[in-house]
Amino acid sequence: MSKQDVKSIEQKTEEENGAYKWIVLGVVLIGAFMAILDTSIVNIALAEMMSVFGVTYEEIDWVVTAYLLSMGVIQPITGYLSNNFGAKRMYIFSLIVFTIGSALCGMAWSRESMIFFRIIQAIGGGMIMPISNTIIYQVFPLEERGMALGIWGIAAMAAPAIGPTLGGYIVQNLNWRVIFTINIPIGIIGVVLAGILLKETEIIPSKKFDFIGFITASIGFASVLYALSEASSKGWDEAYVLAILAVGILMLILFVINELQITEPLIDLRIFKKRNFTFSMISVFFVTIGLYGGIFLLPLYLQNIRGYTALQTGLLLMPIAIVTGIMMPIAGWLFDRIGARPLALTGISLMVFSMYKLHGLNLVVSSWYIQFWMIIRAIGLGLTMMPVTTAALNAISEPKMAQAAATRSLVTRVAGSFGLAILSPQLEHRRIFHFNKLANGLKQGEAIVSQTLNKLQHGILVNGNAVEHLQQKALVMLYGNISKQAMANAFGDTFLLVAVFCSLGLIPALFIEKHPDKN
């Protein structure tokens, strides 16, 4: 064989590998988008489920909580499963389980059956994200991973914003069960494409399974996530919430001790010795609070204060999702050239400033104002999340990549739950504070109160209402206005707290190196 023939074969192989990695990215993008979309789309249908199943909000909330806890249990072992059975095999398995779980959720006949089927769905969904990360890192070279994860990040960042829009449309125009059954054809397509197009990755077998690590991690992460979930609705003064949190922290301490003492841990915590991984994960933690804070606060403000429907809220948020999707590959391209630190510092600064500007929310601020600053936030988020994540995983050698990807998923899961656990009670506390402040202000200015009541009474008469109980009706209207204003002020204060959390992500971002040493 001549040198020219050898060169031709090598060039053909290189072209095939070049095309293959982008095919892989497209295939895993399907599963990632489907799994992330499901985390935000289900919340829109909770009210419908309450009506169909005849349960209260506290009872139906377990549909979300069970999914969250199950993901917290399954994600620590995805690294072990990928290494021992192959990433392709486990990716297909996770898609099948998620699709079956979605089909069963669409057929649920009671709250209990829905919760059980959501657990099945979470087992698949919890594995999809870290395994898809692992596959991308195994097929893309170091210099192209920024762009690859930037494109993958379109699913990771855009799906939570698209979820409320799509969910609102489905619930309003179709049937709430469609939010689950819509996953069936997508899941089948994803399984078929993965089976045909993906190649199996290298298997790195372990001699034995870390049962102690699995038990302590499962109880620990599930307890912490449940305590944070309960704290977001019940507050931190409930004794059982603090007791569950204490159990979770104790089990996680035992988990850390065990993992550092055995030769084949479930998650090799020594990866935190890598400077870029550690500082990137700390930064991701605080930025994730900013991500989930916006997703949590803005829909509540628009629907409860401004009277928007779920569909109207989703449509207002849609440009934000589009901007995030556009920024992801741009950030990936920039990362491959200048590294994560300048992008993260710029992006986090934009997020902090935009959240600060939303501190001024009130009853009459225009939707254009809100949309503009949320788009600025989306630009910052797009510049930050994927470059920082890529910098973290680039610091890890390939044999430990699956464990690092699982750890990253756990960090974002805990950060999101922690953020909601802090922001939800804060919103209520600030509402009470501002209501009392406004009410006391009215008592001090009785002339203004009388003048306001007279205007309200006149308005009631003009609208053709009866004269009897006129003052009581006016007082009810005044009370309603005060309550709305207090709630709007509380949203502003809570956005300011989100800005503070985001700003904490700047400190670790300063220490991210451009070219970490993997040795």
Percent of the chain with pLDDT over 70: 85
Q: In whole angstroms, give the CA distance from residue 55 to residue 321.
A: 33
What are 120's two structure tokens? 């099945």
Write the pLDDT tens digit of every residue in 208-218: 888 888 888 88
Element (H, E) at 346: helix 340-357
Residue 194: CB partners within 8 Å, gap ≥ 6?
A: 27, 28, 31, 88, 91, 92, 95
Q: In whole angstroms, give the CA distance from residue 465 to residue 362.
A: 29
Q: What is the 3-state secondary structure (H, E, C) of 79-91?
A: HHHHHHHCHHHHH
Count of CB atoms situated within 10 Å of the CB of 200: 10
Tell me which of 44-53, 148-157, 252-261, 408-417 is least confident: 148-157
* Dihedral of the alpha carbons of 423, 429, 434, 435, in degrees to the nearest 10: 130
Dihedral pair phi/psi, residue 510, rounded to 5°: -65, -25
CB 340 within 8 A of CB 391: yes
Q: What burial class does residue 333 get, using C-beta atoms within 10 Å of its C-beta: 0-12 exposed, 13-18 middle, 19+ buried?
A: middle
Q: With 90 as the cut, is the pLDDT of residue 94 above it?
A: yes
Q: With 70 as the cut, is the pLDDT of residue 444 above it?
A: no
Most distant CA pair in the chain: distance in Å? 104
Q: With 70 as the cut, is the pLDDT of residue 518 above it?
A: no
Q: In whole angstroms, give the CA distance from residue 405 to residue 134.
A: 6
pLDDT of 393 reads 83
What are 509's two structure tokens? 């971002």
Q: With 80 as the cut, is the pLDDT of residue 86 above it?
A: yes
274-519 shares the fold of 13-206: yes
Q: In whole angstroms, give the CA distance from residue 316 to residue 273.
A: 43
Tell me which of 43-57, 79-93, 97-111 is least confident: 43-57
Q: Where do we find the tokens 């803005």? A: 298
Q: In terms of Cα–Cα distance, which of 487, 476, 480 is closest to 433?
A: 487
Q: With 50 as the cut, is the pLDDT of residue 234 above it?
A: yes
pLDDT of 69 reads 76
CB 30 within 8 A of CB 135: no
What are 192's two structure tokens? 């078929």
Tell me which of 53-62, 113-122, 338-347, 460-469 is least confident: 460-469
Q: In whole angstroms, give the CA distance from residue 418 to residue 515.
A: 31
Write the pLDDT tens digit of every residue in 239-282: 888 898 999 999 999 988 988 888 888 788 888 888 889 999 99
Q: In terms of Cα–Cα distance, which of 482, 471, 476 is closest to 441?
A: 482
pLDDT of 279 reads 93
Write the pLDDT tens digit of every residue in 305-338: 888 876 777 778 778 878 887 888 888 888 888 8
pLDDT of 450 reads 55
CATH dotted code for 13-206? 1.20.1250.20
Q: In whole angstroms, give the CA distance from residue 403 to residue 268.
A: 7
CB 402 within 8 A of CB 78: yes
Q: With 90 as the cut, is the pLDDT of residue 98 above it?
A: yes
Q: What is the 3-state secondary structure (H, E, C) of 161-223?
A: HHHHHHHHHHHHHCCCCHHHHCHHHHHHHHHHHHHHHCCCCCCCCCCCCCHHHHHHHHHHHHH
Mean per-residue pLDDT for 107-134? Answer: 88
Select the more confidently predicted residue: 443 or 136: 136
CB 117 within 8 A of CB 104: yes
Looking at residue 339, what DSSP letter applies?
A: -
Q: In whole angstroms, give the CA distance from residue 28 to residue 90.
A: 12
Residue 223: CB partners within 8 Å, gap ≥ 6?
A: 244, 245, 247, 248, 251
Mean per-residue pLDDT for 54-80? Answer: 77
Q: In whole angstroms, give the CA distance from residue 495 to residue 268.
A: 36
CA separation, residue 165 to residues 300, 313, 345, 365, 505 (Å)? 14, 7, 31, 22, 29
Mean per-residue pLDDT for 136-161? Answer: 76
pLDDT of 120 reads 92
Mean per-residue pLDDT for 377-403? Answer: 85
Write the pLDDT tens digit of every residue in 169-198: 887 788 888 889 988 998 999 999 999 988
CATH dotted code for 274-519? 1.20.1250.20
Q: In whole angstroms, give the CA distance from residue 502 to residue 54.
A: 40
Q: With 50 as the cut, is the pLDDT of residue 15 above it?
A: no
pLDDT of 103 reads 94
pLDDT of 150 reads 75
Domain residue ranges in the chain: 13-206, 210-265, 274-519
Q: With 90 as the cut, is the pLDDT of residue 31 above it?
A: no
Q: With 90 as the cut, is the pLDDT of residue 506 above it?
A: yes
Mean per-residue pLDDT for 286-290? Answer: 88
Write the pLDDT tens digit of every residue in 446-488: 555 555 555 554 555 555 555 445 555 555 566 667 778 888 8
Q: In whole angstroms, give the CA distance from residue 323 to residue 372.
A: 11
Band (pLDDT 50/70/90 cuts) for residue 347 is very high
Write the pLDDT tens digit of every residue in 55-66: 776 677 778 777
Tell me which of 4-13, 227-236, 415-424, 450-459 is least confident: 4-13
Count of CB atoms situated within 10 Å of the CB of 446: 9
DSSP assignment of 275-335, as one string? HHHHHHHHHHHHHHHHHHHHHHHHHHIIIIIS---HHHHHHHHHHHHHHHHHHHHHHHHHH
What are 18's two structure tokens? 């070049």
- The mean of the pLDDT values for the chain is 80
Dihedral pair phi/psi, residue 204, rounded to 5°: -115, 85
Q: In whole angstroms, give the CA distance from residue 352 to residue 455.
A: 41
pLDDT of 158 reads 65
Q: In terms of Cα–Cα distance, which of 276, 267, 206, 265 is closest to 518?
A: 276
* Chain centroid offset of residue 290 CA: 10
pLDDT of 104 reads 94
pLDDT of 250 reads 94
Q: With 90 as the cut, is the pLDDT of residue 95 above it?
A: yes
Q: In whole angstroms, give the CA distance from residue 394 to residue 503.
A: 24
